[in-house]
C-alpha cells in the first residue's frame, strides 16, 4: 500500500518545520508542490534533494490522476503548499478526495497554521471559530456573505490580500461596527504584528501609517456575542449599496423588490437617491 503524505510547511519562519516533516520529504519518491521554485529553496536549505513536480489550482485535476498512477505503481508521495497545510485554502482537496475510495493511505503531517497562530495571538475569543478563507472577489458577493454571517456567534476568520484590507474594513464597519477585530500581519516572521480594534479604529491606523500595508494578513472578527438568527430577513440597504455600481437601477430595483416584497418603484427611488 502506497501513501500520500500531506505535509505542513512553515508559514514564515523556516525553523517551524518539524523533524517528521523533514524525514518524510527526504524519503518519498516525489514531492508535489504548489510552487516548485519556492519549495526547492525550502528543501535545499535542509539538504533535501527531492524530485519536485508542480500541483496548483490550474493543473490539480490532471495531477490527481497522475498521483493515483504513481501510487498504483508503488511510489510514496508528498504534497506541500507554499505555506501551511495543503488543501486548506491551498491545492490538495481534489487529490485527497480522489484517494478516499482507493486502497492507498493519506497521512497528514501536522505543522504550522496561519489560522491557529492568528487566533491564538489575537486576544479574541478562541471558541467557537469559523474559517472562511479568502472573501469573494466581487463586492456584491462579499456583502451577501457578511449579511449571512452577521448573526453567527463565532470568531470569524479570513485570509486577506494586503491591498484589499482597507476596502474590506470599510465594508465590515457597516455590518460589524462595534466588534473587536484583530489583524495578524507577517506571522512568525521578523516583522510580525497584531493589531486590535474596531474596523473604524483600524482604518485610522492605516491612515496614520501605524498599520503598515505590507506582507500577509489574517483578519479575525469577534462575533461571539451575536444572537444567532435563523430568519431569512434581507438587508435591503446593504443589497442596494453592494450592487449599485454593478447593475442598472431598473434591474436592481426589480431584484430587490422581489426579495423584499416591496414596490419596485419605491425601491427604484431609493436606488436613485443613493446614487446621488
How does 54-63 read in b/e, with b if 16+ C-beta sit within 10 Å? bbbeeebeeb
pLDDT of residue 10: 97
Fold of 3-112: Cobalt-precorrin-4 Transmethylase; domain 1 (3.40.1010)
Instruction: Return the CATH class of domain 115-222.
Output: alpha beta
pLDDT of residue 233: 54
Q: What percent of the chain clears pLDDT 70, i.e. is strictly above it?
A: 96
Please name the helix (run of DSSP H) or strand (run of DSSP E) that holds residue 109, with its range, or none.
strand 105-109
Q: Give pTM, 2 decimals.
A: 0.80
H-state helical runs in the chain = 19-27, 36-45, 60-72, 93-99, 114-122, 139-149, 165-175, 199-207, 236-243, 249-260, 264-275
Q: Kindly tell me the number of DSSP H helices and DSSP E strands found in the chain.
A: 11, 10
- The pLDDT tens digits for 223-260 are 999 876 544 456 677 777 777 777 888 888 888 887 77
pLDDT of residue 231: 46
* Stretches in the chain below the pLDDT threshold 50: 230-232
Distance of alpha carbon 258 from the chain centroid = 32
pLDDT of residue 93: 92
pLDDT of residue 242: 74
- The pLDDT tens digits for 178-218 are 999 999 999 999 999 999 999 999 999 999 999 989 999 99
| CB burial of residue 179 (10 Å; 0-12, 13-18, 19+) | buried
Whether the Cβ atoms of residue 211 and residue 200 lie closer than 8 Å to each other? no
Amino acid at each position: 500500500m502506497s501513501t500520500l503524505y500531506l505535509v505542513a510547511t512553515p508559514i514564515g519562519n523556516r525553523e517551524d518545520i518539524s523533524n517528521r516533516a523533514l524525514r518524510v520529504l527526504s524519503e518519498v519518491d516525489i514531492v508535489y508542490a504548489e510552487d516548485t521554485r519556492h519549495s526547492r529553496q525550502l528543501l535545499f536549505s535542509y539538504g533535501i534533494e527531492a524530485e519536485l513536480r508542480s500541483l496548483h489550482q490550474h493543473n490539480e485535476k490532471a495531477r490527481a490522476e497522475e498521483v493515483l498512477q504513481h501510487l498504483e505503481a508503488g511510489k510514496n508521495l508528498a504534497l506541500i503548499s507554499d505555506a501551511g497545510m495543503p488543501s486548506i485554502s491551498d491545492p490538495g482537496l481534489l487529490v485527497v478526495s480522489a484517494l478516499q475510495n482507493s486502497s492507498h493511505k493519506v497521512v497528514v503531517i501536522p505543522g504550522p497554521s496561519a489560522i491557529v497562530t492568528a487566533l491564538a495571538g489575537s486576544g479574541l475569543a478562541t471558541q467557537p471559530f469559523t474559517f472562511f478563507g479568502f472573501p469573494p472577489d466581487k463586492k456584491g458577493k462579499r456583502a451577501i456573505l457578511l449579511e449571512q454571517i452577521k448573526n453567527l456567534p463565532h470568531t470569524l476568520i479570513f485570509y486577506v490580500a494586503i491591498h484589499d484590507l482597507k476596502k474590506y474594513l470599510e465594508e465590515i464597519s457597516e455590518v460589524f461596527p462595534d466588534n473587536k477585530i484583530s489583524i495578524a500581519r507577517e506571522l512568525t516572521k521578523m516583522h510580525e504584528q497584531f493589531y486590535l480594534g474596531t474596523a473604524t479604529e483600524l482604518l485610522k491606523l492605516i491612515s496614520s501609517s501605524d498599520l503598515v500595508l505590507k506582507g500577509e494578513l489574517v483578519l479575525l472578527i469577534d462575533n461571539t456575542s451575536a444572537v444567532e438568527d435563523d430568519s431569512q430577513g434581507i438587508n435591503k440597504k446593504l443589497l442596494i449599496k453592494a450592487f449599485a455600481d454593478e447593475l442598472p437601477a431598473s434591474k436592481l430595483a426589480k431584484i430587490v423588490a422581489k426579495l423584499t416584497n416591496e414596490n419596485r418603484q419605491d425601491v427604484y427611488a431609493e436606488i436613485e437617491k443613493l446614487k446621488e
